[in-house]
Structure 1
């Protein structure tokens, strides 16, 4: 007998909850915000909308299903199962935070604050949750396969991300490395910079796009489902020992970017999740490229 589907509801602690945890009472939080020219009213209203959305989605889960809830900070410790249907209730960024821990499970993005969130990844309203969950269990609804980027170290550490992967120092200092295509006979270039960004078409609306605009790049930004990546080196430093000729490029198909560390420490994290990062040191190498895993976002 097969198990009933499990709906995993992913959410994030609200700003209001964080203020209460820090200051103890609503009155103290209100005084703190007022001293900085802010009102607690908007913060509390957003909290109520988020709580209502979570309650509505939870109520829409069929009674015969299993349920689980996970907060953003616990994602790296939560074990998703192959039969899970993941419901992300919050902002677009929360979908990206969740994607790196999945392996093909269908995802429903529920917008808690329409008009405030862009709604690129959280495309649905709480009232749509029941219909989408039942359809997902029957493998019925259309899903968009969003390309993801992966980084694999020479010691088998692996990290995937929906928007982008950052490789660089833990601070604002310069890191040294060698960079080049991951193919035989390709000579790497020694570089010193504040890091490297490798991004997807989904990430082309965020950090990747800001670098693209800043450079006035002529490289075409990929679409979210396109199996193509863009990469940029941030602030490459020219010197007698380091170059700047490999500061941007594209990766498609099986192409990869090889980075070999020549500093004490280089970290790699995806989609802003710095608490869940890979750490590399002298002589270690890493390959960045298109992941075999894609995010199945229900349309």
Structure 2
């Protein structure tokens, strides 16, 4: 699993290397730096491919094709790229071991390409990371590794009910321990919340309402909390809301007035090979 390099995307947009170089110069950048990163990515993919035993079934998937690719239960998933790519893949998996490869070493993609051969034959030692799940009352389901956002796709006013309280806000974030270093961390710091953020493997979620405001019909008493056993129920009172995970807005649940969204701990977890 990998994503297209910056050079590949620039060539698709501009056609030739000459045009790419001209475009980069207009942005005070050079073609050499882009080519260097492209070569590093291709070298990493080559090393990982060479490490896979010849008698193993294999498939190569780009990020754009994830939603159309069917992962088998017995697959070992090797992700070559940055940490965000691991989060993008996690929502499509259900227990398959994941090996994160990144020449620059990340938090999720923590292994060097040279480690691939050893890791492919030792996938039992995993760090099982908590995921979050959103389910609508008509059976739609969404999973995420970092967080799920519920609100208007343009982040304008969203109207909904949490328990007995009607709210108007810029949306709700429900995050895991893995996501607690990102979007949820920003909300946590901004409001100086007393809630302790979870660790990546802890079976606990946190949620924050973004920019809630009071009015004659809306309140701001329930704007943050934790989820351990009972999920968070959100009753939609605005047409056109969405729920999407890990920043992938193109793969979202569409929510209409009167629908109920239930967000809680997912039964599946990301099995990240140590």
TM-score by length of 2: 0.98
Correspondence for 2:239: 264
**Residue deviations 1:15-51 (CA, integer Å, cap 9, x gap):** 1111110000111011111112122222211111111
- Length, aligned pairs only: 274
Q: Are the equivalent residues in 2 in contact too, given 1:50–1:113 (CA < 8 A)? A: no
Structure 1 vs Structure 2 CA RMSD: 0.9
Q: Are the equivalent residues in 2 in contact too, given 1:268–1:279 (CA < 8 A)? A: yes
> What 5-or-longer segments of structure 1 have no aligned partner?
1-9, 181-187
Correspondence for 1:122: 109
How far off its partner does 1:113 sit?
Answer: 3.0
2:189 equivalent to 1:213:
yes
CA distance in 1, matches of 2:28, 2:173: 36
Correspondence for 1:225: 201
Correspondence for 2:18: 27
CA distance in 2, matches of 1:195, 1:15: 32
Q: Are the equivalent residues in 2 in contact too, given 1:159–1:278 (CA < 8 A)? A: yes
Map 1:18-57 → 2, pairs under 5 A: 18-57=9-48
How far off its partner does 1:212 sit?
Answer: 0.8
CA distance in 2, matches of 1:22, 1:109: 29
Correspondence for 1:287: 262
How far off its partner does 1:265 sit?
Answer: 1.3
CA distance in 2, matches of 1:44, 1:233: 42
CA distance in 2, matches of 1:177, 1:90: 38
Correspondence for 2:52: 61
Moved over 4 A (4+): none
CA distance in 2, matches of 1:83, 1:214: 43
Correspondence for 2:167: 191
2:240 equivalent to 1:296:
no
TM-score by length of 1: 0.90
CA distance in 2, matches of 1:280, 1:196: 14
Q: Are the equivalent residues in 2 in contact too, given 1:152–1:159 (CA < 8 A)? A: yes
CA distance in 2, matches of 1:43, 1:213: 35
CA distance in 1, matches of 2:227, 2:186: 19
Correspondence for 1:111: 102
2:116 equivalent to 1:134:
no
CA distance in 2, matches of 1:208, 1:73: 26
Instruction: Say which SS state the counterpart of residue 22 (structure 1) adopts.
Output: helix
Which one of the candidate residues 119, 128, 131 is aligned to 1:148? 131
Q: Are the equivalent residues in 1 in contact too, given 2:198–2:204 (CA < 8 A)? A: yes
CA distance in 1, matches of 2:44, 2:7: 16
Q: Are the equivalent residues in 1 in contact too, given 2:149–2:172 (CA < 8 A)? A: yes
CA distance in 2, matches of 1:264, 1:165: 18
Instruction: Say which SS state the counterpart of residue 84 (structure 1) adopts.
Output: coil
